[in-house]
Homo-oligomer: A and B are copies of this chain.
Amino acid sequence: MMTADVLVIGGSAGGILTATTAKKVYPEKKVVLVRKSKTVMVPCGIPYIFGTLKDAAKNRIPDAMLANAGVELVVDEVVKIDKEKKTAFLSGGEAISYEKLILATGSLPIIPRFIGGCDLENVFAVFKEEEYLTNLLNKLENMNDVVVIGGGFIGVEFAEQLSMAGKKVTLVEAAQHCLWQAFDDNISSIVEQEMEEHGIAVRTCEKVKKLAGNGVVEAVELESGEKIKADAVILSIGVKANSVLAAEMGIKTNESGAVLVDEYMRTSENDVFAVGDCAEKRCFFTNKNVPILLASTAAMEAKVAATNLYGLKYVRENRGIISAFSTKVFSKTVAAAGITERRAMEETFEIVAGKFSTMDKHPGSLPGTNKLDVTLLFAKTSGVLVGAQICGGECAGEMINILSLAVQKGITANELNTFQVATHPLLTSSPIAYPINAASLDALVKMK
């Protein structure tokens, strides 16, 4: 029998970072990571296999990360865990004992069986295995009409990349807008317009009635009656926690199957932790269960768990998921942190929105300058930042993290009005018009 001190099950973002962090904080411990597949895909990189990268192998997370950190890798499937004996059994019958077990078993794509025709050929969910994705890439090569069902981040990014690869793409979203969980309507509309200008047909407020075809998919029929030709269909309507192992061990899960965890990612079972998509997520603002499954969230949870495996060393400094997102759709970068105006209304937060638009370089005559729109949502009475949304050029990708930090630390409009920033002509907006400062002042004046 193999002996581990720290055993991590699952080889994606949450698993890797738990293992490498554990080894850094507890160098004397033997850390073993077991995963099923020979290679691991960068989860958020998957859409880019189909346009920019054109090769699934280019989207691998290098195993050197584990090796360099001193983590032992076992490629095999854990089929059973004996929690009394603290032992995991592999598909070949071998066993690994552990002191601390971390479940990082991730999530699986939801396949909407209630829609007829999901089992037709050339209907694809977005599984994360390299072989599956290579096969999908090859199959799509000779296809022209692709329908993407689901306008979340993965759906929008698939639509963009397939369109860039020359396909005729239709994106179908049941809600009023794409990306509605992350953004308010104005930014969603900009993204939709950007897609349409690049030839993607966007169908929002449209439910799929069925996928039609004879063995092989041929069309997507909407409830509105529209029939869209489809050589292939990509299903991107979401994922659900993969908690089979946890459930078999008798670990408590919630109604949607996610593993229940405390502030330090500890499950109901002693010495067993869960991180990433398989663990329940709670909202930073309300402590409600929220379905926000992100690699960046998994990474934060991995660090919380790994640093505190043998006693609580590093006090957790965040209360829950703040929902920090970014993406780039053709020339537009959009990013958000915290709650949207829509969510704020639903939860009855009284908010004041501060807005500012400027250019992302200065002077604006510099090549590559983009318009930059920043909206900041502050709680009306306390002035605390509760949400932020940005639309602009690529600098929005890190600018949102200023605001993500500010939300997490409860920073106020008054503080953000005059916080000191580094500015540079080629890199940022003008100091006279730095949009976080300026949008904060806009909110302060409205609060008066």
Residues of B near A226 (CB, < 8 A) are: none
Query: Which of the residues B394, B423, B431 comes within 8 Å of A427, measured between beta carbons?
Result: B394
- What is the CB-to-nearest-CB distance from A233 to chain B, in angstroms, rounded to a whole number? 24
CB nearest neighbor in B for A47: B425
Q: Quick check: A405 and B405 within 8 Å, CB to CB? A: yes
The answer to whether B53 touches A423, judged by C-beta atoms less than 8 angstroms apart, is: no
A328 to B409, CA, bound (A): 30
**Contact present for A328 and B441 (CB under 8 Å):** no
Does A370 belong to the interface (CB within 8 Å)? Answer: no
The reply to whether the CB of A419 lies closer than 8 angstroms to some CB of chain B is yes
Does A58 sit within 8 A of B, measured CB to CB? yes
Residues of chain B lying within 8 A (CB to CB) of residue A333: 427
Within 8 A of B (CB), among A99-115: none
Query: Which residues of B sit under 8 angstroms from A317, Cβ to Cβ?
Result: 414-415, 417-419
Chain B residues whose C-beta falls within 8 Å of the C-beta of A396 in the assembled complex: 427
Which chain B residues border A430 with CB–CB below 8 Å?
13, 42, 61, 295
Chain B residue numbers with a CB within 8 Å of A420 are 296-297, 300, 318, 321-322, 324, 404, 408
Interface assignment of A50: CB less than 8 Å from any CB of chain B: no
Copies in the complex: 2
- Asked if A295 and B423 sit within 8 Å, CB to CB, the answer is yes
State A341–B444 Cα separation when bound (angstroms).
Answer: 37
Whether, in the assembled complex, A382 has its beta carbon less than 8 Å from a beta carbon of chain B, the answer is no
Q: Tell me the complex Cα distance, A396–B422, Å.
A: 10
User: Are B424 and A303 within 8 A (Cβ)?
Assistant: no
Stretch from A126-134, A249-257, A361-369 that touches the partner: A361-369
Distance of A32 Cα from B10 Cα, bound (Å): 65
Contacts of A322 in B (CB 8 A): 420
The CA-CA distance from A348 to B57 in the complex, in Å, is 50
**A428 near B52: Cβ-Cβ < 8 Å:** no
Residue contact A411 to B409, C-beta cutoff 8 Å: yes
Contacts of A16 in B (CB 8 A): 432
What is the interface residue range for chain A against chain B? 35 or more
| Residues of B close to A170: CB separation below 8 A | none
Q: Identify the stretch in A17-25, A194-202, A213-221 within 8 Å (CB) of chain B at 4 or more residues.
A: A17-25
A400 smallest CB distance to B (angstroms): 5
In the assembled complex, A398 has its CB within 8 A of some CB on chain B = yes
A237 contacts which chain B residues (CB < 8 A)?
none
Q: List 26 A-B contacts (CB under 8 A).
A: A42-B425, A42-B430, A44-B423, A44-B424, A58-B365, A60-B363, A294-B431, A298-B431, A300-B418, A303-B418, A307-B444, A317-B414, A324-B422, A326-B423, A326-B424, A326-B427, A327-B427, A328-B426, A335-B427, A394-B427, A397-B398, A397-B427, A400-B422, A401-B422, A404-B419, A405-B419
A residues at B contact (CB < 8 Å): 13, 16-17, 20-21, 24-25, 42, 44-45, 48, 52-53, 58-61, 65, 294-300, 303-304, 307, 314-318, 321-322, 324-328, 333, 335-337, 362-363, 365-367, 394-402, 404-406, 408-409, 411, 414-415, 417-428, 430-434, 436-437, 441-442, 444-445
| Top 4 closest pairs, chain A to chain B, by CB | A397-B427, A324-B422, A299-B431, A398-B398
